Amino acid sequence: MTLDKVKLHKRVKIVRLGMCDQKVKRRLQELGFIRNQIIEKIFVALFNDPIVIKIRNYSVAISVNILKDIEVCE
């Protein structure tokens, strides 16, 4: 399952970052998006973009296009 399809307030574990753009992938890793990290989808904007993800002790707003490339499991 990809992160954009996760239900609101659901906690999931990151399995893989499948980005083709290495700059975006590296930036997400710097923010803490690494394998086995627990994250939670906490807010969806008006037209479903961006989506706010809680990771560690902070929240990050990320575009749906990027979230489609992040594989997660429950």
Domain boundaries, the chain: 3-73
**DSSP string of 19-72, one letter each residue:** -S-HHHHHHHHHHT--TT-EEEEEEE-TTS-SEEEEETTEEEEE-HHHHTTEEE
At residue 21, the pLDDT reads 83
pLDDT at 64: 92
Dump pLDDT digits (tens) for 16-71.
998 768 899 999 999 999 999 999 999 999 888 899 999 999 999 999 999 999 99
> In the CATH scheme, what architecture does the domain 3-73 have?
Roll (2.30)
